[in-house]
Amino acid sequence: MTNDEIFSKVQAIIVDQTGEDKEKVTLTTNIKQDLDADSLDIFEVINEIEDEFDIKIETEEGIETVSDLVTFVEKQLAQEKE
């Protein structure tokens, strides 16, 4: 899966969960600050991402921006292939 594909899936999940416009969710978007998401929103986004990509995200620590999420998913998917 390419980074662009991961991003568009992550973007769709965030849009669905937070009700934000698609254009507002970019790689540099800070999920907590820019989207007014609380801890449960973020947790739910992580839940959906886990289901979508069939990976485990044990902690949301270090995940601030959409780019952080995409990178995390990319790494997890790469690890699973090994």
Chain residues binding other proteins by CB under 8 A are 38-40, 43-44, 47
Q: Which residue lies nearer to other proteins by CB, 34 or 44?
A: 44
* Active-site choice (38, 41, 51, 68): 38
Q: Is 34 tagged catalytic? A: no
Tokens, residue 17: 């969960």
Nearest to 43 by CA among 22, 69, 77: 69
Q: Give the H/E segment covering residue 72.
A: helix 66-81
- Least spacing, CB of residue 12 vs other proteins, in Å: 14
Residue 65, strand partner residues: 30
Q: Which residue lies nearer to other proteins by CB, 28 or 39?
A: 39
Measured from the Cβ of residue 69, the count of other Cβ atoms closer than 10 Å reads: 26
Q: Which residue lies nearer to other proteins by CB, 44 or 74?
A: 44
Query: Which residues are annotated as catalytic?
Result: 38
